[in-house]
Amino acid sequence: MSKTNLHANRPLSPHLQIYKPIPTMVMSIVHRITGGALYFGTLLVAWWLIAASTNEDYFNFVNAIYGSWIGRLVLLGYTWALIHHMIGGIRHLIWDTGRGLEKETTTKMAWASLVLSVILTILVWIAAFTIA
C-alpha cells in the first residue's frame, strides 16, 4: 500500500467554514484576538511610560499622539480589549471549577461577556473624562 493511499481515506478536519458560528465559539476567537492585541497595547503603555521618564517635550509629543482622534480610538480599542479579555478569563476560570458548562449557560455567559465589556469600557471612559 502506498503512502498516498493511507492518507486518501482519512476524513477532513473540520474548520471554521464547516461549523456554524455560535456565541461561545465567537467569544473564544475574540478572546484570543484581544490577547494578541494586548501585546501591541502594552507596547503603547511602555512607550508612554518611557516618554514620561525622559523629557517634557517628548512626553508632550507622545501625549499629542494619544490625544488625537486616532490615538483615542486606539486607546478605546485597547481599553475594550483589556476589559473583554479579563472578563473572558473570569469566564474560563468559572468553567475551570466545573460550573456553568451547560450549553444554555455558556451561551448566556458569552453574550454577557460581550455586553459587560462594552458597558465597563464606556464607564471607564466616562470616569476618565470626568476626572480629567
Res. 56: pLDDT tops 60? yes
Give the pLDDT band (50/70/90) at residue 17: confident
The 3-state DSSP class for residue 20 equals coil
Domains of the chain: 29-131 (1.20.1300.10)
Q: How many CB atoms lie within 10 A of CB 110?
A: 21
Look at residue 13 and tell me whether its pLDDT is greater than 80: no
pLDDT of residue 16: 67
Arithmetic mean of pLDDT, 49-74: 97
Please classify residue 36 by burial: count the beta carbons closer than 10 Å to its beta carbon, then call 0-12 exposed, 13-18 middle and 19+ buried: exposed
**According to the annotation, is 85 in a ligand binding site?**
yes
Burial of 107 (0-12, 13-18, 19+ CB in 10 A): middle
Task: Using the predicted structure, report yes or no on whether residue 3 has a pLDDT greater than 60.
Answer: no
The pLDDT value given to residue 10: 63
Residue 9 has a pLDDT of: 66
What DSSP state is assigned to residue 1?
A: -
pLDDT at 46 over 90: yes
Mean pLDDT of the chain: 92
